[in-house]
Structure 1
């Protein structure tokens, strides 16, 4: 430990933002353990590093008592006053006990502490970078696949795409570039963990924001999304400008915008619905591509009775009830669908 070491700490402070004083405090604490491990743990010691030249000194600390029971920890009042007449019972007397070969141990310990703190600081920087990007979309490269979990390289760190967050039926290959939704950023003992999702509705929302300038600019708003990943998504959009068609903006010239999103989601079907503040109108639109004859709403129960043409009933309900289920999620209304002939029988 010397002046070059102190200069190195000052350089670290500038480059990594790690406080020199905090580093030295941490090294001093680590050196106390190192001293006790190498030279006996029976005494109380304090270690001091000179902030200017890096010199390390070890001080044994003894408490002033009337009667000594432990020579390692205590000193009599009479003996203490041989050093300073002002000592009283309860005071602490320090003696320098720096071993001759302690410099080598100090240097090794200091290096370990500095390396650890650099690692912690870098982990903190990565955590801060990604925690502010939760709910955003990120592009990464599939680095490895283990037991069904896909690890995605995001530069300085890998993101984790668990099986529950993958699109059902989607396959991944090493080196493949994929877009994912940052679901959560966690602090762990091994550093930050970035949890990704390809099945979250937020991924579709962010993809539309990337592809549709009107959404990014706020002219077209996404009011709600309902998604069954890998199969179908319904998205309700609204325009704050009467001259801008929200559905047309999302579809894009010759369907190019929505096609790019469908391609990214491996042919997942996307229904773009025009949002309306009128519940009946919104519910009717949400059942697209089915035609609707009438919608009767119950505001108190937030439920709706929908009548569709007989030949449209299976389309309105959808395969295994998917269309009706997504419409209910999209509108947040309970929807009861009946055909025209069923309604007449009621």
Structure 2
């Protein structure tokens, strides 16, 4: 190695932010292993790299003892004093043992160490960049699909969209540009592992924040979301400003804002509901698009009986109970739905039983 190599380390320090001293320390440690592997593993040695010239020297280290039992590790006090009269018992004698062709080994090892450290540093930078982006949206390009996992190119790294995080029946093709929600960033020996989702309710929340300035600015708040990915989402919104209609803001002029989100989610239906402090109002709205005749709540049980017109019963419950299920999740209330006829019959029976 030479002065040019040291200059290269200076350049790496400036561009990559990796300390030159840390790199040299790592190279010295690697060269000790390299020396032992090639020239004898039993010796204690140290490697010194001149910080200015890049010159590499190897020194054997021997403990000064009264009577040396191992020539490789120890030296007698008598022999040590022949080298330098100042040596005492317990000192360590250093003797240069640099092999002739060690420069070639040093150069190869140094290159490997530097490349490895640069890779580790870049992985660390990527990890630091993405660990602060958990729960955010990221846009990437579908790179490949393997064993059901979709690998998405994010530029300097890639994200993994696992089968359980994929929208049912949604197709992912090579070079497709898609938005995903970062659910977790893990640090691994191969670099950061970024796990993303297309099914997480947070994806819908972030999409609304991107599309609706009033949400981004904090005028309109998303109070709750319930989602069955690929099919339907209900989102409850509230406005701090009485002059701003939160539902209208989310829908946008002629439905442009919500339509952009529906398009991104490949046609997933979205019900936007006005949040209310009143459980009766909130529950009635949550069952949209069904009309509601009355809501009877039991605060202590956090349950509600909802009465709907006879012809609206199937709409209120939804296909396979989806509408009722999403409404219950959105409001965090147990919801029992009855038609007007069923409700009247239950009252009649109750009176008869009395």
Tell me which residue corresponds to 2:2. Answer: 2
In 1, Cα distance between the equivalents of 2:216 and 2:304? 33
In 2, Cα distance between the equivalents of 1:62 and 1:277? 80
In 2, Cα distance between the equivalents of 1:159 and 1:310? 49
Deviation at 1:284, TM superposition (A): 1.4
Q: Deviations over 1:120-166 (max 9, x none)?
A: 11111222222222211122121222232222121122221111111
Q: Determine helix, strand or coil for the equivalent of 2:59.
A: strand
Bigger mean CA deviation after superposition, 133-142 or 262-271: 133-142
Alignment of 1:327-346 (within 5 A): 327-346=327-346
Q: Deviations over 1:69-119 (max 9, x none)?
A: 211011112222223333332222111111111111111100000011111
Q: CA RMSD in A?
A: 1.3
Q: Deviations over 1:242-278 (max 9, x none)?
A: 0000000011111111111111111111000000112
Q: Determine helix, strand or coil for the equivalent of 2:82.
A: coil
In 1, Cα distance between the equivalents of 2:330 and 2:88? 78
In 1, Cα distance between the equivalents of 2:126 and 2:286? 41
1:104 and 2:104 aligned: yes
In 2, Cα distance between the equivalents of 1:235 and 1:151? 29
Tell me which residue corresponds to 1:91. Answer: 91
Tell me which residue corresponds to 2:123. Answer: 123
Tell me which residue corresponds to 2:134. Answer: 134
Q: Unpaired runs of 5+ in structure 1?
A: none
**How high is the TM-score relative to the length of structure 1?**
0.96
Tell me which residue corresponds to 2:66. Answer: 66
Alignment of 1:172-321 (within 5 A): 172-321=172-321
In 2, Cα distance between the equivalents of 1:302 and 1:69? 83
Q: Determine helix, strand or coil for the equivalent of 2:330.
A: helix
Q: Determine helix, strand or coil for the equivalent of 1:81.
A: helix
Q: Determine helix, strand or coil for the equivalent of 1:82.
A: helix
Tell me which residue corresponds to 2:53. Answer: 53
Q: Residue 98 and residue 300 in structure 1: after superposition, are their counterparts in 2 closer, same or farther (change >3 A)? A: same
Bigger mean CA deviation after superposition, 193-202 or 42-51: 193-202
1:147 and 2:152 aligned: no
Deviation at 1:313, TM superposition (A): 1.8
Deviation at 1:315, TM superposition (A): 1.4
Deviation at 1:338, TM superposition (A): 2.1
In 1, Cα distance between the equivalents of 2:246 and 2:41? 74
The number of equivalent residue pairs is: 346
Bigger mean CA deviation after superposition, 25-34 or 289-298: 289-298
In 2, Cα distance between the equivalents of 1:87 and 1:297? 91
Q: Determine helix, strand or coil for the equivalent of 1:6.
A: helix
In 2, Cα distance between the equivalents of 1:44 and 1:333? 72
In 2, Cα distance between the equivalents of 1:113 and 1:71? 32
In 2, Cα distance between the equivalents of 1:261 and 1:308? 30
In 2, Cα distance between the equivalents of 1:177 and 1:14? 35
Tell me which residue corresponds to 1:31. Answer: 31
Spell out structure 1 runs of 4+ moving beyond 6 A: none
